[in-house]
Structure 1
Amino acid sequence: MLPKVDIKFIFCLFITILTCCGLNLPSYIKPCSLSDPNLKSCMIQSGQNAISSLRKGDQNYKIPSVDPLKIPLIEINMGEDLSIKFSKITAYNFFEVVKIQDVDFDLEKGIFSLHLYDESGILADLTYEMKMKLMGLPITGNGEAKANVSKIDMFYEAALKTIQKDDGDHFNIDKSKFNATVGQLQFHFDNLFNGDQRLGDATNKLINENWREFSSILQPAVIDLFQGLINGYLKGIFASVPKNSLFLP
């Protein structure tokens, strides 16, 4: 069974963007010229300057705040031996100190790509239910948990298509892909093994010493989450601003 992730939060917040159109670029995004020989540098600088405003949200473009980001459910099911449910998640520091490493926009092919790096990472409070094996050890528990993800290297690519609206042509995301690596992932789970303190402490230590193995289990869900988030940011702009207003000649 493939991993399952519930990211209804992302899509329910961004669903209304499709009805918004006819706006100019927001004031915090500097338009770049397609004829500028330094177009890439301009897009990196413009995007970097816009991140702090975007993460706070913009009602005009139907972009919600991610400061903090609240996620109702992330669920991974891979049979009887692996079931993880994270709920009531509150994540802090999303894109707070992220740096744009590279950006590329091939207008003819309609391909947009983005490379982001977040040194400080993300903190999260959540509720969990877990039944799994790690390094051959059965792990069960439910209760409160904390997570800390640092040094996140993110790669995003979107294939764009053109759609017609009353105010002109707009970009729309046809398909996208996302991948990421993390420098470290640390968890602390309360109430493992029905509150057995000795087993709980030993298991938390095991998880954090073998965080790469644990991260590989969570990776499909986390990729879906980040991909949906970046898609939502871009759709908020693309649905609102016509193609001919996104760039200067």
Structure 2
Amino acid sequence: MLSFPFSLLALISYVTSMGLPDYIQPCSRNDPNINECALKSARQSIRQFSLGDPSRKLPSLDPSYVAEMTVYIPNENGLKLVFKDNYFYGLSGMELQNLKFDFNKKIITTEALVNLDVTNKYELSGKLMMVPISSHGDSSIKLKKTDLKVKMWYEHVTGPDGKIHWNITKHDIKYELEKAVFRLENLLGDKQIGDQINNLLNELWRDIVADVGPYICRSMTTAVVENLGVFLEQVSYDELFPE
């Protein structure tokens, strides 16, 4: 589980209340089925939210960007594989499984299923069967049926509009995925050797994901929480969850 504090209070000074956008429906905080209402609203708005909203200074999250990821296979004495300029596509097609609010403890929990396609560049170096190798080129990764479980804590703050807003203070994430598929192009300029290395990567996908998975999730969820934080500064608690 990843856990780290995150505050966006510094942004409040330049954001004014803008009310709810048309693509998000409010839910009464007194509704006995508030979680079902919120889940329905979130499912209807997740695509628009992921694609961004320039009028609200919300950048697109699809694709999301991760600058660099490094993997050693099977360890630092073997191959060093660096993925650069990673673009993750698929968040706008995320399927929300559940969404729950605990207004007393100020906790939001959600679970989502998503398929992610990654385009990037690779740099491969090290030794293969004691032979030094070096290669670079285009690459791709498919992360199939990634199950994300996210927990967020928030606090009430008074915005410059004088209204109560939510501020995300911390978030945790757990993840599981069904399969990861790697493809490195033009490996050493030799198709046979390239196929062997790609086969090796795909046999060891669990070990590779164990190395890069936490960094991927931290980068992507931080981007999501940053957007959510800006949005919550623009929309008051009463507008999002009226009585």
Give the alignment's TM-score, normalised by structure 2: 0.83
Runs of 5+ in structure 2 lacking a partner?
1-9
Q: 2:92 is paired with a residue of what secondary structure?
A: coil
Give the residue type in structure 1 aligned to 2:106: G
Shift of 1:16: 6.3
Which residue number corresponds to residue 128 of structure 1? 122
Aligned residues of 1:87 and 1:128 also touching (Cα < 8 A): yes
User: In the TM superposition, what whole-angstrom CA distance separates every residue of 1:121-175 from its partner, at most 9, and x where no partner exists?
Assistant: 12122111244799x9998532210111110100111110122222122211111
Q: What's the Cα RMSD here?
A: 2.8
Which of 44, 47, 67 matches 1:73? 67
Which of 54, 59, 64 matches 1:64? 59
Tell me: CA distance 1:177–1:65, structure 2 relative to 1, closer, same or farther (3 Å): same
Which of 82, 89, 92 matches 1:85? 82
Partners in 1 of 2:132 and 2:145 — Cα distance?
A: 29
User: In the TM superposition, what whole-angstrom CA distance separates every residue of 1:56-110 from its partner, at most 9, and x where no partner exists?
Assistant: 211232211234x1525123378954754322233322231x2211111111211
Which residue number corresponds to residue 239 of structure 1? 233
Which residue number corresponds to residue 101 of structure 1? 97
Does residue 158 of structure 1 match 2:152?
Answer: yes
Which residue number corresponds to residue 179 of structure 2? 184
Give the alignment's TM-score, normalised by structure 1: 0.81
Shift of 1:18: 6.4
Runs of 5+ in structure 1 lacking a partner?
1-14
Give the residue type in structure 1 aligned to 2:51: K
How many matched pairs? 229
Which residue number corresponds to residue 40 of structure 2? 45
Shift of 1:213: 1.8
Query: What percentage of aligned pairs have identical amino acids?
Result: 27
Aligned residues of 1:127 and 1:145 also touching (Cα < 8 A): yes
Which of 107, 126, 130 matches 1:111? 107
Partners in 2 of 1:243 and 1:234 — Cα distance?
A: 13
Aligned residues of 1:18 and 1:239 also touching (Cα < 8 A): no
Q: 1:49 is paired with a residue of what secondary structure?
A: helix
